[in-house]
Amino acid sequence: MARKLIVGNWKMNGSLAMNAELLEGIKAGLARVDCDLAICAPFPYLAQCQQALEGTGVALGAEDVSAHAVGAYTGQVSTRMLLDFDCKYVIVGHSERREYCNESDELVANKVQRALAGGLTPIVCVGESLKEKDAGQTEAVVSRQINTVLSVLEEREVCDIVVAYEPVWAIGTGKTPTPEMVKDVHALLRELMIRKNPDAAECVRILYGGSMKPSNAEEFLKMRDIDGGLIGGAALKASDFLKIAYLASR
């Protein structure tokens, strides 16, 4: 994949005023960006982001989506609602949702299916916890997570997802795996996808996420197997987010 993808995950941060400043800051620096850029924002701010990002080339995404199409699901948000705000992406199976909302591998797979059926590109998150890493289970965990998703997809649909490898112990902690460790996990993920669809060697972007910031982004982004980044904390500061996007543009 020649062109990298940098995605900001705002999580449960922001306000109308803070977002306006952040969006203006990002827009002011876009001329030098030569990678794909997206912002995944909290549901209440999708309208604000849609309006601010119109015509900029920066894609919009949500942080979650319902596994159901429509109906009596209080508090949930459907693919069709996200399309109303021109969302292109949706993060599915983020470790914070797996952990705090008890999302199972099966539910994550159902959400991926629903997102694809609704015309959205799911950014499927996988990654091991610290305990799992220390027990030498990284490969087993990410294989189980991605295989559950692949098991519900048609062969052609494999090319319609983005995968984000996010070691849980690296998220928001400032700790990062070495680029070599990430490269090995990305190679494994790609291999599992290729088994389902040989085109996955070329068509699927695998992002790294977990404490990526301007000071360490380059070492990750220069690796051939790392197709971009899913950025949390550093996406909340326009200059940091832009710096990462510039590093991905080389």
Residues designated catalytic: 94, 166
* Nearest distance in Å: CB 115, ligand PGA: 17
User: Which residues, other chains included, contact 47 with Cβ-Cβ below 8 Å and sequence gap of 6+?
Assistant: 85
Judged by CB under 6 A, the chain residues 89 through 118 that form the site for ligand PGA are: none
* Measured distance CA(139)–CA(117) in Å, rounded: 29
Q: Which of residues 205-224 bind ligand PGA (CB under 6 A)?
A: 209-212
Site residues (CB under 6 A) for ligand PGA, limited to 157-186:
166, 171-172
Give 230's DSSP letter. Answer: E
Whole-angstrom Cα distance, residue 127 to residue 13? 22
CA 9, CA 230: separation in Å to the nearest integer? 7
Nearer to ligand PGA, 212 or 248 (CB): 212
**Pick from 193, 231, 242, 244: which binds ligand PGA (CB under 6 A)?**
231
CB closer to ligand PGA out of 113 and 211: 211
**Which listed residue (46, 59, 230, 244) binds ligand PGA by CB under 6 A?**
230
- Taken in order 70, 75, 81, 83, is the CA torsion positive or negative? negative
Interface size with ligand PGA, residues (CB under 6 A): 13
Q: What are phi and psi of 62, to 5 degrees?
A: -110, 170
Q: What angle do CA 161, 163, 164 make, to 5 degrees?
A: 150
β-bridge partners, 228: 5
3-class state of residue 167 by DSSP: coil
Interface pick for ligand PGA out of 194, 233, 237, 249 (rule CB under 6 A): 233
Q: Give the torsion sign (CA, 140, 145, 148, 150).
A: negative
Q: How far apart are CA 137 and CA 126, in angstroms?
A: 13
Least distance in angstroms from the C-beta of 4 to ligand PGA: 16
Rounded Cα–Cα distance for residues 48 and 170 (Å):
30
Q: Least Å distance between CB 9 and ligand PGA? A: 4
| Residue 29 near ligand PGA by CB under 6 A | no
Please report how close the Cβ of residue 97 comes to ligand PGA at its closest, in angstroms.
10
With respect to ligand PGA, which residue has the nearer C-beta, 197 or 211? 211
Site string for ligand PGA, 115-154 (x = CB under 6 A): ----------------------------------------
Give the binding site for ligand PGA (CB under 6 A).
9, 166, 171-172, 209-212, 230-234
